[in-house]
Amino acid sequence: MVLHPRKTGRRRAATIVEMTFVLSIFLLFLLGILEYGRYLFFMHVAANATAQGARYAVVHTGDGTTLAQVKSQVDTILGSQKSFLTGYTVSVFPTQAGVSPPTAVAGANWNDAQFGAGICVKITGSYTFVAGNLIGVGPKNIDVSAVMTSEAN
């Protein structure tokens, strides 16, 4: 008995449809991974910016340094990453060293912090993902702070 192979019809359309589904899911995952990497990079830069701002503030307490000068230091370190934040603010306040989360000491000014007192620099805002609408992720509230002890007065 001789078996004749069956001729199957071409499946070009089915292949295109299947590839579309697989490719769209793959690209969605890839964009998600890239966005998460960008977010981690931003958080790293923001942590460095607050640390540099706090370092500048603790070295310059009592010499007339203003909030604008500390903010300028933070802005310099943030660079172009600042464009991903909406409602971006930098605040500087005295705090108790070693207390987490840092809270402002009532009635005190960061410029008048005594030697060994904590000074906190905090960045707040809302981080906007570039492909957020495509991957279904909305803005994320950011709150990054650094506390260092005063070296002046």
Confidence of residue 101 (pLDDT cuts 50, 70, 90): confident
Count of domains for the chain: 1
Cα–Cα distance for residue pair 120/152, rounded to 1 Å: 15
Cα–Cα distance for residue pair 84/125, rounded to 1 Å: 9
Q: Which of 117, 109, 111 lies closest to 149, judged by CA? A: 117
8 Å CB contact between 96 and 120: no
Is residue 83 in a domain? yes
Is residue 102 in a domain? yes
Q: Are strands 140-149 and 85-95 parallel, antiparallel or unpaired?
A: unpaired
Residue with tokens 């809270």: 103
Residue with tokens 């579309």: 20
Is residue 5 in a domain? no
Token pair belonging to 111: 């410029």
Is residue 38 in a domain? yes
For 66, phi and psi rounded to 5 degrees?
-105, 170
Is residue 30 in a domain? yes
Is residue 4 in a domain? no
Which of 1-5, 62-66, 80-84, 121-125 has maximum average pLDDT? 121-125
Q: Is 125 helix (H, G, I), strand (E, B) or coil?
A: strand
Q: Which residue has the higher pLDDT, 40 or 1?
A: 40
Q: Which amino acid is at 145?
A: S
Is residue 7 in a domain? no
* pLDDT tens readout for residues 36-90: 999 999 999 999 999 999 999 888 887 778 889 999 999 999 999 988 899 999 9
| Segments forming the whole domain that contains residue 27 | 12-149
Question: Mean pLDDT score of the chain, rounded to an integer?
Answer: 85
Q: What order do you get walking across the sheet with 85-95 strand by strand?
A: 85-95, 118-127, 140-149
Model confidence, pTM: 0.79
Is residue 64 in a domain? yes
